[in-house]
Each structure stands twice: as structure tokens, then as C-alpha cells.
Amino acid sequence: MPVQVKICGITTVEQALMVQQAGADLLGLVLYAKSSRHVTLQQAIEVRRAIASDVLCVVLLVNADKEFVKQVISEVKPDLLQFHGDETAEFCQQFEFPYIRALRMHDDLDIAAQARAYKSAHSLLFDAWHPQQYGGTGERFDWHRLPLERRFNLILAGGLTPDNVAEAVTAVAPDMVDVSGGVESVPGIKDPVKVRDFIVNAKAAG
């Protein structure tokens, strides 16, 4: 099965239409105020309406409170939530809604233990570690730390670009690759050529 491609940090309806036309499988909306790709709840609702039925909508949250998560589910109506902060397994599971658990690859991360803890997750996403940032760093980590044999869906993120995504897919054999800054002209604005090249290169390698 070809690798799926998620383009994260979509900020406008126009961006959503462009990346779908380029062949993205999933679109990510960031509801985290400290992100340069942040959208409001109302903006997320508007972009969601522009996402086709055969493309999945993912809403990224960072340490959001329970009531806001419920509001997102009710009003944005995403296909998946992406918990990208310090959320516990118990917190993620309580909504009984499909979710991606993002894990930042600090040096002592026990991947097997995390996979057991978040066994209810749709997928586990692996991103570069940064002490002050929850993703979107543009930095990559050592892909060889990821297991080639696994019993969970693996999403590879962190520092991916059109130039290195084929290498990443070959090295890790992920179920999905996730990119944000690597296909942008400026933060929050996707570059159509970079988006197209990223998707083509990822799919060809997969």
C-alpha cells in the first residue's frame, strides 16, 4: 500500500483546495495559539467544509482542556484528533474518538512502552524533540531509532522536505509522512510546487 501523505498547518480554504488537488491524503489544522500556523475554531470550521469526503481532516491540539476538545469534535467534525502535547493515554481515550498520538523523540523515549500505553491510538506520530516547541520545528531526528517491525501505524514527521522524503520513506517504511514547514514559502503558506514535489516523491518511494 502506498505511503499516505498528510499536509499539516493548513490556514485557508485556498490552501486546502490546493493541497487536495496535489494529491494529499490528509490535511491538518492547528488549533494551538502558539503555533505560527494557528487557526481559530471558526477558521477551522470553514476550512473543514472545503475538505473532500475522500480526504481526512485532522485537528492538532496541544494540552487543550477537555471541554475544548469536545467543542472541536462537535463543531469542526474532524476525522481524527492529533494530540501533540503532554496528554496522557487516559486523556486521549476518554473522548472515544479516533486519535493520533504525537511523540517527540527525546533521547530516553521508550517507543515500545509508548506503543503499549497508547494502543488505542489510530497511529503514533514521531517528531523531533525540542524543549520549548511542540512540533513544527523543521528539525529531523535519527530515523534509525524507529522500529521496522511494529504493531502500530507509524507516521513520520520532523524536518521532511521534497528533497529528503524519498530517503525517509525508504529508511523507515512509514504508513504516513507528515509535513508542514518543509513545503512552505513562509510559515503558514504552502508552496504549490513544494507540495506537489513532496507528494510525488513520497508516493514514488512508497
49, pLDDT greater than 80? yes
156, pLDDT greater than 60? yes
Q: Which of 25, 92, 127, 178 is catalytic?
A: 127
User: What's the confidence (pLDDT) of residue 106?
Assistant: 80
Cβ(98)–Cβ(81) below 8 Å: yes
**Does the active-site annotation cover 57?**
no
> Which has the minimum average pLDDT: 24-28, 104-108, 135-139, 155-159?
135-139
**Structural domain boundaries, residue 140:** 4-205
181, pLDDT greater than 70? yes
User: What's the confidence (pLDDT) of residue 147?
Assistant: 87
User: What's the confidence (pLDDT) of residue 141?
Assistant: 78
CB atoms within 10 A of CB 9: 27
Q: Which of 8, 25, 57, 178 is catalytic?
A: 8
**Does the active-site annotation cover 127?**
yes
Q: 52, 49, 30: which is closest to 41 by C-alpha?
A: 30
- Please give the tally of structural domains in the chain: 1
How far is it, in rounded angstroms, from Cα 96 to Cα 123? 15
User: What's the confidence (pLDDT) of residue 7?
Assistant: 98
Higher-confidence residue of 17 and 105: namely: 17
pLDDT tens for each residue of 67-84: 999 999 999 999 999 999
How far is it, in rounded angstroms, from Cα 111 to Cα 100? 15
- Side chain identity, residue 122: H
Q: Output the domain CATH number for residue 76.
A: 3.20.20.70
Local confidence band at 188 (pLDDT 50, 70, 90 cut-offs): confident
Average pLDDT of every residue of the chain = 93
